[in-house]
Structure 1
Amino acid sequence: MNERILISGASIAGLTLAYWLNKFGFRPTIIERATRLREGGNGVDMREDAIEVAERMGIMSQIRAEAADVIGMSFVNAANHSLARIDMQAIQQRLDSGQVEIMRGDLVAMLHELTKNDIEYIFGDSIRMLEQTGDGVMVSFEHGSTRQFDLVIGADGLHSTVRHLAFGPESQFILYKDHYFAFADANPALGDDRWMTIYNMPGKMVGVYRSGNHVGAKAYFIFRQPNPLTYDHRDIEQQKRIISNTFANISSWRVQELLAGALADPKFYFDALCQVRMQSWSKGRVALVGDAAYCASPASGAGATLAMVGAYRLAGEIAAADGNHQLAFRRYEEGNRKLVKRMQKIGPNIRLMVPKRHIGIWVRNTIARLPLMKSLSRVEHILQPKHTEPLPYYQRESRI
Structure 2
Amino acid sequence: MTSVLISGAGIAGPTLAYWLNMAGFEPTIVEQAPALRRGGYVIDFWGLGYDLAERMGLLDQITRIGYHAREMRIVNDEGRPVAGFGSGVISELTGGRYVTLQRSDLSRLLFEKLDGQVESIFGDTIVSLHEQDDCVQVEFEHAPARRFHLVIGADGLHSCTRTLVFGPQPRFEKHLGYTVAAFEACDYLPRDDDVYLMYGRPGRMIGRFTLRDNRTLFLFVFATKGEKLPTTLDAQKALLRDLYRHDGWECRKLLGELEQTEALYFDSVSQIRMQNWSCGRVALVGDAAFCVSLLAGQGSALAMISAYVLAGELAGAPGQYQRAFGRYETLLRSYIAAKQRGAERFAGAFAPKTRVGLSFRNLVVKAFALPGLARLAIGRDIADSLELPEYSWRSLNRRAIA
Structure 1-normalised TM-score?
A: 0.92
Q: Map 1:197-208 to 2 at 5 A.
A: 197-208=197-208
Q: Does 1:90 align with 2:114?
A: no
Cα distance in 2 for residues equivalent to 1:347 and 1:8: 27
Contact 1:275–1:295 (8 Å) recurs in 2 = yes
Query: 1:54 maps to what in 2?
Result: 53
Q: 1:340 aligns with which of 333, 336, 345?
A: 336
Query: 1:243 maps to what in 2?
Result: 240
Matched letter for residue 355 of structure 1: P
Matched letter for residue 17 of structure 2: A
Q: Map 1:39-118 to 2 at 5 A.
A: 39-87=38-86, 89-95=87-93, 96=95, 98-118=97-117
SS of 1:393's equivalent in the other structure is coil
1:167 offset after TM fit, Å?
A: 0.5
Cα distance in 2 for residues equivalent to 1:373 and 1:56: 32
SS of 2:349's equivalent in the other structure is helix
1:97 offset after TM fit, Å?
A: 5.4
Cα distance in 2 for residues equivalent to 1:110 and 1:397: 24
Query: 2:288 maps to what in 1?
Result: 292
Query: 1:325 maps to what in 2?
Result: 321
Cα distance in 2 for residues equivalent to 1:25 and 1:377: 42
Cα distance in 2 for residues equivalent to 1:275 and 1:60: 29
String of CA shifts for 1:172-222, please: whole Å, max 9, x gaps: 0000000001000035424522111111111010121124x5642211111
Query: 1:356 maps to what in 2?
Result: 353
Contact 1:84–1:365 (8 Å) recurs in 2 = yes
Cα distance in 2 for residues equivalent to 1:391 and 1:267: 39
Matched letter for residue 204 of structure 1: R
Q: Does 1:262 align with 2:261?
A: no
Contact 2:7–2:153 (8 Å) recurs in 1 = yes
1:79 offset after TM fit, Å?
A: 1.2
String of CA shifts for 1:53-79, please: whole Å, max 9, x gaps: 112211122212222212232111111
Farther off after superposition, 368-377 or 296-305: 368-377
Cα distance in 2 for residues equivalent to 1:115 and 1:16: 9
Matched letter for residue 304 of structure 2: M
Higher relative contact order (CA 8 A, sep 6+): 2
String of CA shifts for 1:96-143, please: whole Å, max 9, x gaps: 252322211111111111114101111111111111111111111111
Cα distance in 1 for residues equivalent to 2:388 and 2:34: 38
Q: Does 1:168 align with 2:164?
A: no
SS of 2:289's equivalent in the other structure is helix
Cα distance in 2 for residues equivalent to 1:72 and 1:344: 26
Q: 1:153 to 1:43 in 2, by over 3 A?
A: same
Cα distance in 2 for residues equivalent to 1:376 and 1:306: 22
String of CA shifts for 1:256-275, please: whole Å, max 9, x gaps: 22123234322210101100
String of CA shifts for 1:295-350, please: whole Å, max 9, x gaps: 00012111011100000011111111125211111111111112211211225432
String of CA shifts for 1:366-392, please: whole Å, max 9, x gaps: 333344327525644266424433432
Q: 2:383 aligns with which of 382, 385, 388?
A: 385
Q: 1:161 to 1:240 in 2, by over 3 A?
A: farther
Contact 1:273–1:298 (8 Å) recurs in 2 = yes
String of CA shifts for 1:209-244, please: whole Å, max 9, x gaps: 124x56422111111112242544xx4444334333
Farther off after superposition, 107-116 or 9-18: 107-116
Contact 1:70–1:210 (8 Å) recurs in 2 = no
Matched letter for residue 89 of structure 2: I
Cα distance in 2 for residues equivalent to 1:68 and 1:173: 34
Q: Does 1:252 align with 2:251?
A: no
Contact 1:282–1:288 (8 Å) recurs in 2 = yes
Percent identity among equivalent residues? 37
Contact 1:184–1:220 (8 Å) recurs in 2 = yes
Farther off after superposition, 380-389 or 317-326: 380-389
Q: Does 1:376 align with 2:383?
A: no
* Number of equivalenced pairs: 394
Q: Map 1:167-246 to 2 at 5 A.
A: 167-187=166-186, 188-211=188-211, 215-232=214-231, 235-246=232-243
Contact 1:177–1:274 (8 Å) recurs in 2 = yes
Contact 1:92–1:383 (8 Å) recurs in 2 = no
Matched letter for residue 388 of structure 1: L
Q: 1:335 to 1:97 in 2, by over 3 A?
A: farther
Cα distance in 2 for residues equivalent to 1:257 and 1:226: 27
Matched letter for residue 205 of structure 1: M
Structure 1 gaps of 5+ residues are none
1:289 offset after TM fit, Å?
A: 0.5
SS of 1:184's equivalent in the other structure is strand
Superposition CA RMSD, Å: 2.1
1:252 offset after TM fit, Å?
A: 2.0
Cα distance in 1 for residues equivalent to 2:319 and 2:236: 42
